[in-house]
Amino acid sequence: MSHDMRDDIGSKMGMWIFIFTELFLFGGLFLVYAVFRAKYSADFHVAAEELNVFVGTMNTVILLVSSATVAMSITAIQRGNKKLAMRFIIATVLLAGVFMVNKYFEWGHKFEYQLYPGSEVMKNMEHGEILFFSLYYMMTGLHALHVIVGVVLLAVVFFRVKQGVVNSDNYVFLENSGLYWHLVDFIWIFLFPLLYLVT
């Protein structure tokens, strides 16, 4: 049937538009960040001291490498190297896993010190510090959700490659998943300096 006809350019265009909507979704939070950062810049400075720059840097490197591996899996499938493509997808998913584990310990550590919205410790803090941590949890939380969605997408694409549905002639699904993964990486690149490096 005619509307099963493939249109790779159309598919990619759809993915790009979807990525724009995701950027606008985070854009709302960036806007809130900008407003409160301007209003409480000193408090933001103090609160950001609490974040672990080392873990943040680690996670940045991890995501950057994972963006590279997903890009390499696309190149591999284009050259018809199915096995290598699958390996690179696995590598990407593993890196995402390491990112999430780091995130888990990072959040857990803060919960130990009662650094979360609504806690007793938080109640005695300055307004700007409270808002900083609220933003920290909202932004990294929403980002972590996107990491999970990305992992699910990559897992699906892995099996599609394995079945041969995604192959050297028809790899737009992998490309789109890769695009989504780059988005996850891209948003993190902005979150990292805004949250960890403002001090």
Partner 1 sequence: MESSEATNQKTYLQHKPYKGILNWLLSTDHKRIGLLYLYSIMAFFLIAAIFGLLMRIEKIAPGETIMGPQTYNGIFTLHGIIMIFIIVIPGLAAVFGNFFLPLLIGARDVAFPRLNLFSWYIYIAGTILAIASQFVGGGAPDTGWTFYVPYSAESSTSVIWALTAAFVLGFSSILTGLNFIVTIHRLRAPGMTWFKMPLFPWSIYATAWIQVLATPIIGITLLMVIAERTLNIGFFDPALGGDPVLFQHLFWIYSHPAVYIMILPAMGVVTEIFPTFSQKPVFGYTAIALSSIAIAAVGYFVWGHHMFTSGISYWSRWFFSFLTFIVAVPSAIKVFNWVSTMYGGSIDMKPPLLYAISFIFLFMIGGLSGLALGALATNVHLHDTSFVVAHFHYIVFGGMGFGFFAGLHYWYPKMYGRMYNVRLANIAWGILFLGFNLLYFPLFVIGLQGMPRRYFDYFPEYHTGHLLSTIGAFILIAGIVLMLYNLFYHVKRGEKASANPWKGVTLEWKVASPPPHENFDEIPVVTEQPYTFKSTESDS
52-85 as b/e: b if 16+ CB within 10 A: eeeebeebbebbeebbebbbbbbebbeeeebeeb
In one letter, which amino acid is 20? Answer: F
Say whether residue 14 binds partner 1 (CB under 8 A).
yes
25 is an interface residue for partner 1 by CB under 8 A: yes
173 binds partner 1 (CB under 8 A): no
Task: Give the integer Cα–Cα distance in Å for 186 and 102.
Answer: 18
Taking the least distance from each CB to partner 1, the nearer of 116 and 167 is 116
Contact 51, 197 (CB under 8 A): no
| Candidates 84-92, 101-109, 135-143, 172-180; binding stretch for partner 1 (CB under 8 A) | 135-143
Q: Of 108, 118, 120, 124, which one interacts with partner 1 (CB under 8 A)? A: 118
24 lies in the binding site for partner 1 (CB under 8 A) = yes
Which residue's CB is nearer to partner 1, number 100 or number 116?
Answer: 116
For position 117 contacting partner 1 by CB under 8 A, the verdict is: yes
Dist. CA 38–CA 48, nearest whole Å = 15
Q: Establish if 108 lies at the interface with partner 1 (CB under 8 A).
A: no
Query: In whole angstroms, how close is the CB of 10 to partner 1 at the nearest point?
Result: 4
The DSSP symbol for 168 reads: T
Query: If you ran DSSP here, which 8-state letter would residue 2 be given?
Result: G
Euclidean distance between CA atoms 66 and 181, whole angstroms: 8
Closest CA to 63 of 82, 31, 91: 91
Residues at the interface with partner 1 (CB under 8 A): 1-3, 7, 9-10, 13-14, 17-18, 20-22, 24-29, 31-32, 35-36, 39-40, 117-118, 126-128, 130-131, 134, 137-138, 142
